[in-house]
């Protein structure tokens, strides 16, 4: 790892953090430690970094805001690549060109300030643009698939290409990127509609208020744990089993919204994983419904 760090420094790729706790990089605030976190300064530096990592057979993971991940308690042997510095933004009329590392919540506010409607659903989603495209993040019956016209990606053979919306295979909480994780989202072109600034702001405030009232935002979590099965609500199924408020170690099935698992008291990843598996198993037993986990398990 020392040689790798020297190489990264020599190539001036970007900021480096060594031997860091993953609690700092996930919204669950759990996980072991990572050998290295690297923040490439530019797309060119990112390409160079990925080449170096592949040439040296180094395990790596692209990381957004860690808002949809559950790392294990084990140490992550390898490199986490944070795209925070790939965050440029250009607004031309109703089209926004934005870097993968840009905050989705910040983007929704930027759209509102420019009287653009279509991104209100993202006002409370704590991810990055790249992460949101990857998992087709959404809420209130809308998602990224409705507004993303195209994205620029780095392919596994180091080409930078553009993929159109129809090639991205957007479906409920999934996309081409999720099934092809070696493709790295670099930027997105988002097309919105012109709207009334005050109406957009009012809608965002209203939805944020509803979110605060219905979701356990006072504890670390990673949002909804399970996708809603067809014509059902995951939280309702779990609540009907009497599992609201169930604890395991420092984790708890939220007593406010049963499709959230929260880190209520210095939880371990194992505690959260136990509750996810338990809820999934009990719903299957009672309703014969196979729950699909929205969150990504890393390093288990």
Which residues are CB-neighbours of 15 under 8 A, at least 6 positions away? 38, 39, 85
Which residues are CB-neighbours of 144 under 8 A, at least 6 positions away? 132, 133, 136, 137, 138, 170, 175
Q: Residue 150's beta-bridge partner residues?
A: 164, 189
Q: Which of 120, 187, 239, 294 is catalytic?
A: 294
Q: What angle do CA 41, 42, 45 make, to 5 degrees?
A: 85
Neighbours of 114 (CB within 10 A): 16
On whether the CB atoms of residues 162 and 151 are closer than 8 A, the answer is yes
Q: Residue 202's beta-bridge partner residues?
A: none
Q: Note if 51 is an active site residue.
A: no
Q: Which of 72, 224, 264, 269 is catalytic?
A: 224
Q: Note if 159 is an active site residue.
A: no
Q: Which of 173, 175, 254, 269 is catalytic?
A: 173
Q: Which of 136, 128, 130, 288 is nearest to 227 (CA)?
A: 136
Q: Note if 95 is an active site residue.
A: no
Alpha helices (H) in 215-266, listed in sequence order? 234-240
- Token code pair at residue 93: 């009329």
Alpha helices (H) in the chain, listed in sequence order? 2-10, 43-55, 104-113, 129-135, 144-147, 176-179, 197-214, 234-240, 269-287
Give 19-24 contacts, CB < 8 A, sequence gap 24+. Answer: 22/66, 22/71, 22/76
Q: Which of 161, 166, 108 is nearest to 138 (CA)?
A: 108
The β-bridge relationship of strands 160-164 and 148-154 is antiparallel
Residues with a known catalytic role: 173, 224, 294
């Amino acid at each position: 790892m020392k040689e790798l760090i020297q190489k990264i420094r020599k190539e001036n790729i970007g900021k480096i953090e060594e031997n860091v706790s993953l609690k700092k990089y996930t919204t669950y605030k759990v996980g072991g430690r990572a050998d290295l976190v690297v923040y490439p300064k530019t797309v060119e530096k990112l390409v160079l970094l990925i080449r170096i990592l592949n040439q040296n057979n180094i395990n790596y993971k692209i990381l957004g805001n860690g808002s949809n991940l559950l790392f294990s308690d084990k140490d992550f042997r390898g490199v986490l690549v944070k795209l925070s510095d790939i965050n440029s933004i250009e607004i031309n009329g109703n089209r926004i060109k934005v870097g993968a590392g840009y905050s989705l919540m910040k983007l929704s506010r930027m759209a509102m300030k420019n009287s653009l409607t279509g991104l209100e659903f993202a006002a409370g989603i704590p991810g990055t643009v790249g992460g949101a495209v990857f998992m087709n993040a959404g809420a209130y019956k809308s998602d990224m698939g409705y507004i993303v016209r195209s994205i620029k990606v780095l392919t596994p053979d180091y080409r930078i290409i553009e993929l159109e919306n129809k090639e991205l295979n957007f479906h409920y909480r999934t996309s081409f990127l999720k099934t092809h994780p070696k493709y790295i989202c670099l930027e997105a072109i988002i097309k919105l509609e012109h709207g009334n600034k005050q109406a957009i702001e009012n809608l965002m405030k209203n939805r944020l208020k509803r979110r605060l009232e219905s979701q356990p935002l006072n504890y670390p979590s990673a949002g909804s744990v399970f996708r809603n099965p067809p014509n059902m609500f995951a939280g309702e199924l779990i609540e009907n089993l009497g599992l609201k408020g169930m604890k395991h170690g420092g984790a708890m099935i939220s007593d406010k919204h049963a499709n959230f698992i929260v880190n209520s008291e210095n939880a371990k990843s194992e505690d959260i994983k136990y509750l996810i598996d338990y809820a999934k198993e009990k719903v299957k037993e009672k309703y014969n419904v196979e729950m699909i986990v929205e969150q990504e398990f890393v390093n288990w």
